[in-house]
Amino acid sequence: MVAPPGRCPQGDLATIAPMENGRQLDLLEPWAIGGVEIPTRLVLAPMAGVSVQAFRRQGRRFGAGLVCSEMVSVAGIRHRNERTLGYLRVASDEHPLAIQIFGSDPGAMAEAARMVEAAGADIVDINFGCPVKKVTKTGAGASLLDDPGHAARIVEAVAGATALPVSVKMRRGTENGSRSCLEVGPLLVRAGAASLTLHPRSARQMYTGTADHSLTAELVSLVDVPVVASGDITSRARAQAVLATTGAAAVMVGRAAQGNPWALAEIMGGPGEPSREEVVAELLLFMRETVRELGEQRATSFLKKFYGWYLGRGRFPRPFKQELVMLPTIGEVETRLLAAAPGASGVLERLEANLGDVDEVLLDSLPISIYGGG
């Protein structure tokens, strides 16, 4: 295909309908990981310090077919750390839900998988992609891509410990230019992985540069399980281009959805940019749901980063966000937000009426005084 003047080839690719087995792939078409049916081709990424239950439930409302918890330490589960165990609270409207675990010991990972299943998750996800040093120095996260045999033993142990399908999220490798994912991926599938997610940046890159989805296409050609494409999925056009050119089963959205669930709606073909009243109403709902989960003391500091995410993108003046961060209580933040957008109160009432009560599945052994959301 020749690009017309003034347009790059990627711009043309973005207009191509995604194809699967020679047919058009609809983002609204269901697919499956193991025996778990997923209603749309959009996955909300697991993100540390972000993916609390309120974030996941919001993602489902805006079109994500699968939502994921942030990564849960198997060491914390093994030692029955109260905050860590709080990650295993599951609301009925989150399904299908993947709970992501990380660690380096196969036995501990197997034990954690059994806890994840008992908590009511639909999928056990294993993190082989985290690039943060405090994780990789323990032999977990992306560092396991340098030890394919050990990575496969972990997957085998987890798959053998649970009846749930097992998925794995990984990066291309630890070093720039690495192609380790193409060696490791097929080994993990043979060990029992029912799906792979690839973020084709190196651990060294962190989130700089661009995701090389030519690697995603190569991985798809090497395995016979669904591959989810992660990295730089920021619009409907980009999602369609990546699906069309890689053969991936679905796309995963992460940072683009932080404080911006409308990015998910836009990818699914809905309206993208909200009104100021809609922005404030969603932020207020998110705040209230987070307080319910974390308690007001923890939520007060946790929510501060979200103010900038929601109110940025030219929606509100920068000083307004800074003003909210300085307010000492969530009640004062609510008052200030409603003063800035009075019409948000009616939108919020409708949102809360449609949301309904939370019906959670709790393990009898889980302490519930603290919810470990972030």
The Cα 374–Cα 371 span in angstroms is 9
Half-sphere exposure of 341 (CA within 13 A, CB side): 23
The predicted pLDDT at position 356 comes to: 67
Whether 99 is in a domain gets the answer yes
Model pLDDT for residues 256-273, shown as the tens digit of each residue:
999 999 999 999 999 878
| Residue 174 and residue 107 in one domain | yes
Whether 318 is in a domain gets the answer yes
pLDDT (mean) for 215-242: 97
Q: Which of 8-12, 191-195, 352-356 has the lowest mean pLDDT?
A: 8-12
Active site residues per annotation: 130
Q: Which of 63-67, 83-87, 180-184, 203-207 has the lowest mean pLDDT?
A: 83-87
| Residue 183 and residue 303 in one domain | no
The predicted pLDDT at position 79 comes to: 73
Whether 361 is in a domain gets the answer no
Domain boundary among 218, 245, 267: 267
Whether 200 is in a domain gets the answer yes
Whether 294 is in a domain gets the answer yes
- Which is more confidently placed, 4 or 329? 329
247 in the Ramachandran plot: left (φ > 0), alpha (ψ -120 to 50) or beta? left
Return the H-helix or E-strand segment holding 86: none
The predicted pLDDT at position 341 comes to: 96
| Residue 304 and residue 218 in one domain | no
| Residue 182 and residue 224 in one domain | yes
Whether 348 is in a domain gets the answer yes
pTM for this prediction: 0.89
Determine whether 114 is exposed, middle or buried from the number of CB atoms within 10 Å of its CB (0-12, 13-18, 19+).
middle
The Cα 245–Cα 242 span in angstroms is 5
pLDDT (mean) for 236-260: 96
- At 166 the three-state DSSP class reads strand
Smallest CA-to-CA distance from 200 within 164, 245, 158 is with: 245
The Cα 277–Cα 127 span in angstroms is 37
Q: Which of 75-84, 122-131, 194-203 has the lowest mean pLDDT?
A: 75-84
Is the pLDDT at 13 greater than 50? The verdict is no
pLDDT (mean) for 157-161: 98
- Which CATH number is 186's domain given? 3.20.20.70
| Residue 138 and residue 213 in one domain | yes
- Which is more confidently placed, 305 or 2? 305
Confidence of residue 149 (pLDDT cuts 50, 70, 90): very high
Domain boundary among 267, 298, 330: 267
Half-sphere exposure of 103 (CA within 13 A, CB side): 23
The predicted pLDDT at position 366 comes to: 42
| Residue 251 and residue 162 in one domain | yes
| Residue 228 and residue 286 in one domain | no
| Residue 204 and residue 293 in one domain | no
The predicted pLDDT at position 271 comes to: 82
**Average confidence score pLDDT of the chain:** 88
Model pLDDT for residues 101-119, shown as the tens digit of each residue:
999 999 999 999 999 999 9
The predicted pLDDT at position 9 comes to: 31
| Residue 311 and residue 248 in one domain | no
| Residue 260 and residue 287 in one domain | no
Biggest CA pair distance of the chain: 64
The predicted pLDDT at position 179 comes to: 96
Helices (H), 272-329: 276-294, 296-302, 304-311, 318-326
pLDDT (mean) for 10-20: 41
Confidence of residue 328 (pLDDT cuts 50, 70, 90): very high
Range of the structural domain that residue 351 is part of: 276-355
Half-sphere exposure of 82 (CA within 13 A, CB side): 6
Smallest CA-to-CA distance from 163 within 127, 124, 130, 137 is with: 124
Confidence of residue 91 (pLDDT cuts 50, 70, 90): confident
Whether 369 is in a domain gets the answer no
Is the pLDDT at 89 greater than 50? The verdict is yes
Whether 209 is in a domain gets the answer yes
DSSP label at residue 26: P
The Cα 46–Cα 254 span in angstroms is 7
pLDDT (mean) for 348-371: 61
| Residue 294 and residue 204 in one domain | no
| Residue 251 and residue 308 in one domain | no
Total structural domains in the chain? 2
For the chain, percent of residues with pLDDT exceeding 70: 88
The predicted pLDDT at position 24 comes to: 58
Domain boundary among 267, 296, 316: 267
